[in-house]
Amino acid sequence: MTATRPVRIGAVDLGASSGRVMVGTIADGRITLTQTRRFANGAIPLPTREGERLFWDVLRLWGEVREGLLAAVRDIGPLSAIGIDTWGVDYGLVNGSGTLSAQVHAYRSARTRGIPERVFATIPAREIYAINGLQVQDFNTMFQLVAQARDNGIPRSSNGAYARTMLLLPDLLACFLTGQRVAEVTNASTTGLVDARLRTWSRPLLERLRTELGLDLDGVLPDIIEPGTVIGPVLPEALEIFGPDGAPTPVVAVGSHDTASAVVAVPATDPDFAYISCGTWSLVGLELEEPVLTLASRTANFTNELGVDHTVRYLKNVMGLWVLNEAVRAWRRQGLETFLPELDAAAATAEPLRTVVDIDDPVFYAPGDMAARIDDAARATGQPRPRSVGEYVRCIDDSLALAYRRAVRQAAELSGREVRVVHMVGGGIRNRLLCQLAADAIGLPVLAGPAEGTALGNAVVAARGAGLLNGELSDLRRLIRDSTDITSYAPDPAAAASWDAAERRLLG
């Protein structure tokens, strides 16, 4: 399945905290990554008539992506294909010429508060879940669109038809590059508007939103495509870059939800695995062939997001390293210079499981002083508050591991799937303590790697879609496995009782 000649794939990978452009070079049965640009990202607060809202500076991100791709061609060589992935749910509206017609809201913006309850008062949650299989998060695109219709509406042209197309962020960047408007299915599945079984927009749900809530999306949603579809060549007026044969470089739809690309990079050898994609968010779940749309699954708030090669990402969102990153930002604002390696070392020497919190509590959702919120949560559950920076970090790590434990066990129970091993991918695996705690808490071996799973998954799917690789998902994973150093963490059987006790203490 390996390429017959060395090929270079541009992998654009945008996260809510940072973005980068990588080049994946495939040669001699291995894939290596080279970073050509890295840049900070973050939501920008702006006042509106509805109150302060958070927005993304999409045009700045586009400029950074553009510079990264130019640097890739200049410093490494012609690109055979380009893939783009970002976080889910957020979207831009483009007009007939393909330019943005409004600012792009960020998912942590307060505009969707109370919107799910408003929707469910008209269309019961159980009926929606039976279609989309999606966990309820205030920021799901469906709720964002209802909020937009309430606040501003979706502009129409003079003849009454919509003059706008909704493009999720990876599709928006692809449109800037190619002029084509599509909706790649792994990211589209985070909108709440996709039928999880059919992998298409749910016409019955769209009709109910129109007739019962006044949200008319006719003409707004582009056609859904699967990962591996060639979207189109890069337009010279967008970016003058060309492939090794002198033709314009194609943009290929990958698993454009970053977790979908990360799951492609899970170096599994058999199907009985769970995964933890560990970054700003931690996505914890299983890879299935069919969605789980039961009442028990909805009650547990598990989601059925769609994956590459017609798979289902059956998972739960765990708050992730967002809490630690926000704590570090607050400490630095307070004049305390802290660096992650030092914090990890301090956490490793702190008393284990002294204080644990429900890391998924909505109180940790918004930006702010996480240490103060941990103090409040500790008091509310009758636990001692952390006494040092190291103890706060240990509390976050222990609490994350407990959340992983609950999510893996619930996913296995709800799906009927046996789990024998847990794969951790993403930047969070550099925290060796967290990986070991995950193994101890779950009681299963943890295999950590690759750290750059999202970019690797992006690159191999783009290469296959461009006809430069062939094979099944297992073949792509073999390529990544052969190119990756994987660290194994064995669970400590003696720790099981302590984790059981910590969970009982947390749950009251």
Active site residues per annotation: 258
Q: What stretch of H or E contains 166? A: strand 165-168
Neighbours of 381 (CB within 10 A): 15
- Answer whether 230's CB lies under 8 Å from 252's CB: yes
Q: Cα–Cα distances in Å, from 10 out to 243, 298, 412, 426, 454?
A: 11, 38, 36, 19, 13
Residue matched to tokens 């049965």: 29
Residues 6 or more apart whose CB falls under 8 angstroms from that of 333 comprise none
Q: Determine the Cα angle at 119 with ends 207 and 297, to 5°.
A: 95
DSSP notation for 103-137: -EE-TTSGGGTTHHHHHHHHS-HHHHHHHH-----
CB 459 within 8 A of CB 264: no
Beta-carbon neighbour count of residue 277 at 10 Å? 31
Lookup result for tokens 């909505």: 362
3-class DSSP state of 234: coil
| Cα dihedral sign, 286-467-3-246 | negative
Please give the single-letter amino acid code of residue 118.
R
Residues 31/132, Cβ–Cβ less than 8 Å: no
